[in-house]
Amino acid sequence: MTDLAAVKTALKTQAVETPSWAYGNSGTRFKVFTQAGVPRSPWEKLEDAAQVHAFTGVAPTVALHIPWDKVDDYAALAKFAEERGVGLGAINSNTFQDDDYKLGSICHPDAAVRRKAVDHLLECVDIMDATGSADLKLWFADGTNYPGQDDVRARQDRLAEGLSEVYGRLGDGQRMLLEYKFFEPAFYTTDVPDWGTAYVHCLKLGSKAQVVVDTGHHAPGTNIEFIVATLLREGKLGGFDFNSRFYADDDLMVGAADPFQLFRIMYEVVRGDGFTSEVAFMLDQCHTIEAKIPAIIRSVMNVQEATAKALLVDRSSLAAAQAAGDVLGAHAVLMDAYNTDVRPLLAELREEMGLDGDPLAAYARSGWAERIVAERVGGQQAGWGA
């Protein structure tokens, strides 16, 4: 029998980091679509993120993307966030939106381009120092399009060399989170294509280097929860980029495509004591056709629901069925938890935290959506590349 009080206690400790870029305009590979009321600066992104935290109670930090969120005074930005009830989280680098990076960044055959890329990563660590951020999140678009285009092994050597220099710059309490992606934008080889490549580099670097699992960055049919379990077992799971996809890296709302997969992932987090480690639960989403803030609130709620179901798994009954070789019985234990309607439990939990039981309805009543449409007129809206 699952202890509901213990489930609530665990849920109260959960924190989901929201991404600054999710509050800006986004789109497809063909068109970026605009919406009224979208933030025009990092400051306004933080104002919107504060609304998400105010109504959910579990989104206390915001990830920044450099140079999209570049400001003159990062300490002032951190203070601005704190005054609105949120903090600054992971600093995300950008080595994919510059003409110099057409053939790669940290893996580029030209030493001058590699130097430029590494200097940017070092700049991101400087920003971490100014903001108090603990995590440097790295994703590289590096790869090749044609056989023979570049030396595959040499590119791994360049990657290791660049990561090592940045790793050496990290201070106490800071870490490097290395993300991988199965394909795109490179079509022949990708320099960090899978969790194994990321793990090997992180293992060689040391304890401050860990792997990020983006739930949209895998080949169809990949058992993502197995990867999560393995990385947790090795102490190398640094965090998640939560989203979902149907075909490729669509960055849809987490749990939208396959909520059962999200539940299975979160069960492995619970099983592997992921809540007692420093696993970062981050969203990485681009809301193109839906309203930004409600979509992010819904995403946070989806993570909460999957987590609640994972916590409800009767682990002693599951272990007994597994030990007895009771295949159907073990599966039924998982399905009983997954099929539980946890919405009343979460509504009760929110009310205990002094929040409205229905975050989306509470936000709709707040008037914030109408306010930002009326006030954010003129200027350059934030979006991909801005």
pLDDT digits (tens, 9 = 90+) for 297-328: 999 999 999 999 999 999 999 999 999 999 99
Reported confidence tier of residue 276, pLDDT bands at 50, 70, 90 = confident
User: Is position 4 within any domain?
Assistant: no
Q: What share of the chain is helix, strand, coil (3-state, %, to 5)?
A: 45, 15, 40
pLDDT of residue 160: 98
Record the pTM: 0.96
User: Is position 8 within any domain?
Assistant: no
| Residue indicated by tokens 């060399």 | 161
The answer to whether 355 and 56 have CB atoms below 8 angstroms apart is yes
Is the predicted pLDDT of residue 3 greater than 90, yes or no?
no
Task: Name, in order, each residue with C-beta under 8 angstroms of 249's C-beta and a sequence gap of 6 or more.
Answer: 181, 184, 214, 216, 217, 243
Query: What is the arithmetic mean of pLDDT over 39-47?
Result: 98
The answer to whether 254 and 243 have CB atoms below 8 angstroms apart is yes
User: Is position 189 within any domain?
Assistant: yes
260-295 in b/e form (b: 16+ CB < 10 A) is: ebbbbbbbbbbbbebbeeebbbbbbbbbbeeebbbb
pLDDT of residue 277: 75
pLDDT of residue 385: 59
User: Is position 258 within any domain?
Assistant: yes
Say how far apart CA 188 and CA 94 lie, in whole Å.
22
Is the predicted pLDDT of residue 270 greater than 90, yes or no?
yes
> No. of H helices and E strands in the chain?
14, 12
Sign of CA dihedral 62, 66, 69, 71: positive
CA 343 to mean position of chain CA atoms: 24
pLDDT digits (tens, 9 = 90+) for 117-131: 999 999 999 999 999
pLDDT of residue 43: 98
> Residue 99 carries which DSSP code?
G
| Farthest CA pair distance, the chain | 66
pLDDT digits (tens, 9 = 90+) for 165-182: 999 999 999 999 999 999
Reported confidence tier of residue 1, pLDDT bands at 50, 70, 90 = low
pLDDT digits (tens, 9 = 90+) for 12-33: 999 999 999 999 999 887 888 9
Output the domain CATH number for residue 30: 3.20.20.150
Residue whose C-alpha is closest to residue 297's, from 246, 351, 356: 356
User: Is position 5 within any domain?
Assistant: no
Domain residues for 268?
15-375
Say how far apart CA 267 and CA 58 lie, in whole Å.
19
Say how far apart CA 73 and CA 209 lie, in whole Å.
27
User: Is position 299 within any domain?
Assistant: yes
Residue whose C-alpha is closest to residue 300's, from 47, 57, 120, 105: 57
Beta strands 32-33 and 26-27, pairing class = antiparallel
The more confidently predicted of residues 145 and 275 is 145
Domain count, the chain: 1
The DSSP annotation for 4-61 comes to HHHHHHHHHT--EEEEGGGGSBEE-SS-EEP-TT--SSHHHHHHHHHHHHHHHS---E
User: Is position 294 within any domain?
Assistant: yes
Is the predicted pLDDT of residue 386 greater than 70, yes or no?
no
Query: What is the arithmetic mean of pLDDT over 184-188?
Result: 93
Is the predicted pLDDT of residue 39 greater than 90, yes or no?
yes
CA 128 to mean position of chain CA atoms: 17
Is the predicted pLDDT of residue 2 greater than 80, yes or no?
no
Burial class (CB in 10 A: 0-12, 13-18, 19+), 212: buried
Mean pLDDT of the chain: 96
The DSSP annotation for 314-381 comes to -HHHHHHHHHTT-HHHHHHHHHHHHTS--HHHHHHHHHHTTS-S-HHHHHHHH-HHHHHHHH--SSPP
pLDDT of residue 214: 97
